[in-house]
Amino acid sequence: MSFVANFSAFWSKFFSRIGIDPQRIVPTSKATKLMILQSAVDITPEGYSSFVVGVGITCFMLSLVYFASLATYFKFTFYLSLLLSLIMLFVSTLVAIQYFDFVVRSRARDVELNLLDSLRHLLSELRSGIPLHDAIESVSRENYGVVSELFRESLVRIKEGEEVNEAFLEISMRTPSITFQRFVATLSYAMGSGVNIANVLENFIKEIEISRRNSISVYTNESVKYSIFLIFLTGIIPGVMVLLLSQGAILAGFRIAIPLVVPFYLLIFPLAKYLIIMRLMRVSPGTR
């Protein structure tokens, strides 16, 4: 994440010196600001806009140099180089925007995968008679990924004087995990109504286990379907393209500059693979 923050800071300083507001180019809505918060990347909304615009400009300049060199070598018009560079500008900007969405979903998936074990740990601590504050601290010291990170942040707020339910309610804004937010709501209800927290937590854990079992069948069907499509898209089609590029002059009498196609070959197919993987992540067990 430090590279993203440093890259964003560099372009923020650059735009500040030339008097350009990147948020006029890439505005940040409330949803975007929430996504930045949930990504845990240490940048401001202004830094986000600087990052996205900076990625686009960087890729445009590198692509222009690359395609201009090809235009000189293969003797095709410079306007084609400019057009291809503009396409790379558009695609790279979309990738930069999708990067933050990918980070948020990855963190949410990490929460969902580790939440059940962390709650079992919390329940065992409470059943053994340990106070809630100490039980939370015990979970925060373990290696439950983003869950432990969220527990640590909540613990800091608790030590600063906030109530446990209020601290967790604020921290739940840092993840789109519905299950974690349900856990916070359950904890708040238990503390507000005065019922036994351990019993409520145990029932909540059972609900998660049932939900996980039901989601496995959905994930299996989706994974089979998209796996076949993924093999076809990133295996068969690229192979056919390589054959056409290498043997096109012999089979059909045409010649394509391979360096002209390589940037799109290396960008479009991984991007398509990423979109399919993101779809599978949405339906995978523990992320619904």
Q: Grade residue 262 by pLDDT with cuts at 50, 70 and 90.
A: low
Average pLDDT, the chain: 83
User: What pLDDT, on the 0 to 100 scale, is given for residue 250?
Assistant: 56
Q: Where is pLDDT greater, at 44 or 240?
A: 44
Return d(Cα 83, Cα 76) in angstroms, integer.
12
Averaged pLDDT, 178-185? 90
Rg from Cα positions in the chain: 25
- Compute φ and ψ for 156, nearest 5 degrees: -60, -45
Q: What is the pLDDT of residues 96-147, one digit of tens each?
A: 998 898 888 888 888 988 999 999 999 999 999 999 989 999 999 999 999 9
Instruction: Return the amino acid letter for 10.
Output: F
The full length of the chain comes to: 288
Q: What is the pLDDT of residues 222-239, one digit of tens each?
A: 677 777 777 777 677 777
- SS3 category, 216: helix
Name residues whose C-beta falls within 8 Å of residue 79's C-beta, 6 or more positions apart in sequence: none
Query: By C-alpha distance, which of 170, 176, 165, 193 is closest to 100?
Result: 176
Return d(Cα 151, Cα 141) in angstroms, integer.
9
Return d(Cα 284, Cα 105) in angstroms, integer.
12
Residue 76 has pLDDT above 80, yes or no: no
Domain ranges of the chain: 2-109, 114-212, 214-283
Residue 251 has pLDDT above 60, yes or no: no
Return d(Cα 137, Cα 142) in angstroms, integer.
9
Averaged pLDDT, 16-41? 91
Q: Where is pLDDT greater, at 82 or 235?
A: 82
Q: What is the pLDDT of residues 272-281, one digit of tens each?
A: 777 777 666 6
Instruction: Return the amino acid letter for 45.
Output: P
Residue 44 has pLDDT above 50, yes or no: yes
What secondary structure letter does DSSP report for 254? -
What secondary structure letter does DSSP report for 24? G
Residue 173 has pLDDT above 60, yes or no: yes
Return d(Cα 253, Cα 108) in angstroms, integer.
52
Cβ-contact 135, 122 below 8 angstroms: yes
Show the DSSP H helices in 128-196 as ranges: 132-141, 146-159, 164-171, 178-193
Name residues whose C-beta falls within 8 Å of residue 224's C-beta, 6 or more positions apart in sequence: none
- Compute φ and ψ for 269, nearest 5 degrees: -70, -45
Q: Where is pLDDT greater, at 171 or 242?
A: 171
Q: What is the pLDDT of residues 153-165, one digit of tens each?
A: 999 999 888 888 8
Indicate left, alpha or beta for 86 from its phi (over 0: left) and psi (-120 to 50: alpha): alpha
Cβ-contact 175, 141 below 8 angstroms: no
User: What pLDDT, on the 0 to 100 scale, is given for residue 32?
Assistant: 92
User: What pLDDT, on the 0 to 100 scale, is given for residue 288?
Assistant: 46
pTM of the full structure: 0.73
Cβ-contact 56, 91 below 8 angstroms: no
Name residues whose C-beta falls within 8 Å of residue 230's C-beta, 6 or more positions apart in sequence: 273, 276
User: What pLDDT, on the 0 to 100 scale, is given for residue 285?
Assistant: 56
CATH class of the domain whose range is 114-212: mainly alpha
Instruction: Return the amino acid letter for 119.
Output: L
What secondary structure letter does DSSP report for 25? T
